[in-house]
Amino acid sequence: MSMDFFQQLSLFSVPGRAPDRPATTPAPGQTPPKAPRQRHLHLGNQIVAYTLRQGQGRRRLSMTIDERGLIVGAPARTTLAEIDGFIHAHAAWVLAKLAEYTERHARRHLTIRDGSHIPLLGNDIAVRIAITSGRMRAHWHDEHVLLEVRAEAGCDEHAAMLRRVLQRRALALFAERSAHYARRMGRLPPPLALSNARTRWGSCSLKSGIRINWRLIHLPLELIDYVIVHELAHLVEMNHGARFWELVGSLYPDWQDARDELRQRGGKLPIL
């Protein structure tokens, strides 16, 4: 989709970005093989999987590492040998960043048991678990959330239930905040849906409205407000030009501080 009609707000300030390199052009008549989306190669003594994104719109070879692993972008006519050579040229960087993200993911993954804690709107709350023979449901209290679960339910089911509960709370809160700021803009609230994106806080489409990452429910309200304002502003200015930031600033004067804090927090949210 053209960027004129679709905007996204990055979730991470990702240090996992390797230097780009211009792609070479194959000799006339040489047709590079069509690369599969998922590939593997040896780096040192490791086998590294990567996702290849290859297309006409790409002008340079590039690499990014995030929670999904290694992602390589390449122009449509780049050969597999060139792509693998590019990765080998940055082998030390790739291995270091993959190890860093693996460690970070392990620290963030939460096992939900009775007495576990999760962040909600910037504050830690306890998760209490009670056994029931009836319908599984959740109850919110001031400093904890109570999950009524079946005796046979395990940690994975506890996490899935908690995730659904948090998403319902997120949708209600985000809709309320979106309506608040839309009124200040003199607009009707746009359609709003939750996103489960790994690398985006939010996105905006003139056709379908805004999507907000449900994991923002873990963060303070002022950061949620910034993301919502950012996406609402794109309904007026579908770019990041001066007028866009002027509009954001008129609704949320501390947007720069919020943006910086989001970049720091992006890789630290818990994983359920």
The pLDDT of residue 45 is: 87
CATH tag, 117-268: 3.30.2010.10
* Sequence-separated (6 or more) residues with CB below 8 Å from residue 166: 118, 120, 214, 217, 272
- For residue 84, what are its two tokens? 């693998």
Domain residue ranges of the chain, discontinuous segments joined by +: 15-108, 117-268
Cβ neighbour number for residue 185 with a 10 Å cutoff: 16
| Distance of alpha carbon 9 from alpha carbon 171, whole angstroms | 18
pLDDT tens digits for the chain (272 residues)?
233 334 556 544 344 555 566 555 444 444 454 545 889 999 988 899 999 998 877 889 999 887 678 999 999 889 999 999 999 999 999 998 888 777 666 556 778 889 999 999 999 999 999 998 888 888 998 889 999 998 888 888 889 999 999 999 999 999 999 999 999 999 999 999 999 887 789 999 888 899 999 999 999 999 999 999 999 999 999 999 999 999 999 999 999 999 999 988 877 788 87
Cβ neighbour number for residue 120 with a 10 Å cutoff: 18
The pLDDT of residue 5 is: 38
The pLDDT of residue 4 is: 33
The pLDDT of residue 36 is: 55
The pLDDT of residue 12 is: 41
pTM confidence score: 0.67
The pLDDT of residue 68 is: 75
CB contact burial 154-168 (16+ within 10 A = b; e otherwise): eeeebbebbbebbee
CA distances in angstroms from 13 to 92, 143, 178, listed in the order given: 21, 31, 24
